[in-house]
């Protein structure tokens, strides 16, 4: 971290101070996190939307980019603003914008298509074929740990005034929603694991007849648990924090069972639970993720959500056994990344339902709030008492 991180930064040396804003992010050449002055974005194209950012949350990706000093700065720049989970208010719109007006609350998606492939042409850049996409706060576009952002009409999902508290949850929820949508489609390939037709995967509820294991009770594991419990799936959540930690308390309030990952082997855990229809992996730790592949139940789906980076300790696995099981037990291991505006809309709707089904949970899940200037504190400790970390940037 840089203690006197107030040096000015802007791509144009003649930029007027009135047109700069604060941003927290990474520098290409120097490891650490910095608070910089960067140029305030402006409306340039017809479909542009200028957003004044109200709150931005951070997640494992932000920590990972910092820790591993991964800096895909925008072209010709050497600074990348972090953050990709945001809610803000529209301050200006381009002449061609019709569905969004000044004053609206919006949360923008973070990926921008390659402009080449069929997926991006259909506004489904989360399935981009070329890999030449950009992502706000991650790959080649500034993120939202700053005061303003320019997005385009098609990427801005409108939120209502009641949604302010859940706004920063929409992006990560959309990631989980997309993966569960895929899981539902995959599971329809096989007969259901219980004998009740009303609990088939194309039904809305499963009344405890379906079982899931969530690996990790961080923000994404919490959202995965929310989805599973909202659909009445018997849910087990594996974590390695003490049982009285906020993470465990939250999952218990959702009616999920805590599994102490330190005391039991994956084999013992799976034997105790029995048939598990879906594993939702949200640890980003490859040793944990791999250990449970070997333990998958028949006809089950494994949703890989974490993005592991280099781990210090190398792990050994019986690859023959893993591959044999996958084939002989009809297992599906599914990687799922990113989400599009459609998933954002679904996520917003689902979160509104959650506000009624589990009142106060989304608010409680935000354990820490910081101002941009407190970026060092916000990014510094990673104790078990933190769930979602949010930066409050401007008044709603």
Residues of this chain that bind ligand BGC (CB under 6 A): 59, 61, 84, 110-111, 135, 138, 171, 175, 337-338
How is residue 296 annotated by DSSP? P
The whole-angstrom separation of Cα 233 and Cα 235 is 6
β-strands 156-159, 148-152 pairing? unpaired
Name the site residues for Zn ion (rule: CB under 5 A).
194, 196, 199, 209
The whole-angstrom separation of Cα 285 and Cα 307 is 8
For ligand BGC, which is the closer residue by CB, 41 or 306?
Answer: 306
For ligand BGC, which is the closer residue by CB, 181 or 260?
Answer: 181
SS3 164: helix
Give min distance, CB of 190 to Zn ion, in A: 15
The whole-angstrom separation of Cα 40 and Cα 142 is 11
For ligand BGC, which is the closer residue by CB, 109 or 193?
Answer: 109
Give min distance, CB of 269 to Zn ion, in A: 23
Give min distance, CB of 24 to ligand BGC, in A: 16
Which residues, including other chains, have CB under 8 Å from residue 256's CB and lie 6 or more apart?
214, 225, 228, 229, 235, 236, 237
How is residue 52 annotated by DSSP? E
How is residue 6 annotated by DSSP? T
For ligand BGC, which is the closer residue by CB, 19 or 63?
Answer: 63
> Which sign, positive or negative, has the C-alpha torsion 106, 111, 113, 114?
positive
Give min distance, CB of 112 to ligand BGC, in A: 11
For ligand BGC, which is the closer residue by CB, 216 or 266?
Answer: 216
Give min distance, CB of 109 to ligand BGC, in A: 8
β-strands 79-81, 20-27 pairing? antiparallel
For ligand BGC, which is the closer residue by CB, 193 or 338?
Answer: 338
Residue 209 interacts with which of ligand BGC, Zn ion, none, CB < 5 to 8 Å by class = Zn ion
Give min distance, CB of 201 to Zn ion, in A: 11
Residue 338 interacts with which of Zn ion, ligand BGC, none, CB < 5 to 8 Å by class = ligand BGC
């Amino acid at each position: 971290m840089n203690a006197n991180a107030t040096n000015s930064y802007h791509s144009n040396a003649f930029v007027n101070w009135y047109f700069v804003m604060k941003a927290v992010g990474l520098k290409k050449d120097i490891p650490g996190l910095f608070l910089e002055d960067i140029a305030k974005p402006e409306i340039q194209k017809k479909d542009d939307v200028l957003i004044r950012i109200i709150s931005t949350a951070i997640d494992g990706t932000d920590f990972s980019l910092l820790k591993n000093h991964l800096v895909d700065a925008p072209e010709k720049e050497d600074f990348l603003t972090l953050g990709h989970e945001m809610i803000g208010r529209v301050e200006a719109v381009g002449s061609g914008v019709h569905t969004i007006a000044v004053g609206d609350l919006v949360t923008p998606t973070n990926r921008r298509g390659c402009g080449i492939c069929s997926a991006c042409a259909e506004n489904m850049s989360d399935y981009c074929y070329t890999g030449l996409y950009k992502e706000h706060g991650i790959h080649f576009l500034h993120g939202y740990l700053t005061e303003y952002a320019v997005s385009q009409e098609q990427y801005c999902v409108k939120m209502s005034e009641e949604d302010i508290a859940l706004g920063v949850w929409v992006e990560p929820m959309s990631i989980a929603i997309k993966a569960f949508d895929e899981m539902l489609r995959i599971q329809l390939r096989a007969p259901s694991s219980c004998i009740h037709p009303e609990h088939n995967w194309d039904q809305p509820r499963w009344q405890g007849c379906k079982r899931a294991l969530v690996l990790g009770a961080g923000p994404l594991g919490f959202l995965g648990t929310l989805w599973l419990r909202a659909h009445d799936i018997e849910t087990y959540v594996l974590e390695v924090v003490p049982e009285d930690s906020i993470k465990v308390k939250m999952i218990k309030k959702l009616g999920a069972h805590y599994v102490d990952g330190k005391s039991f082997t994956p084999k013992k855990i799976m034997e105790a639970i029995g048939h598990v229809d879906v594993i939702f992996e949200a640890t980003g730790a490859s040793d944990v993720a791999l250990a449970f592949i070997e333990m998958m139940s028949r006809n089950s789906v494994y949703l890989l959500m974490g993005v592991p980076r280099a781990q210090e300790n190398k792990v050994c696995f019986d690859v023959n056994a893993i591959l044999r099981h996958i084939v002989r037990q009809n297992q599906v291991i599914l990687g799922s990344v990113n989400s599009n505006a459609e998933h954002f809309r679904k996520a917003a709707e689902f979160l509104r339902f959650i506000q009624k089904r589990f009142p106060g949970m989304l608010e409680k899940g935000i354990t820490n709030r910081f101002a941009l200037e407190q970026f060092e504190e916000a990014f510094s400790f990673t104790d078990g008492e933190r769930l979602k970390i949010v930066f409050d940037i401007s008044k709603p």
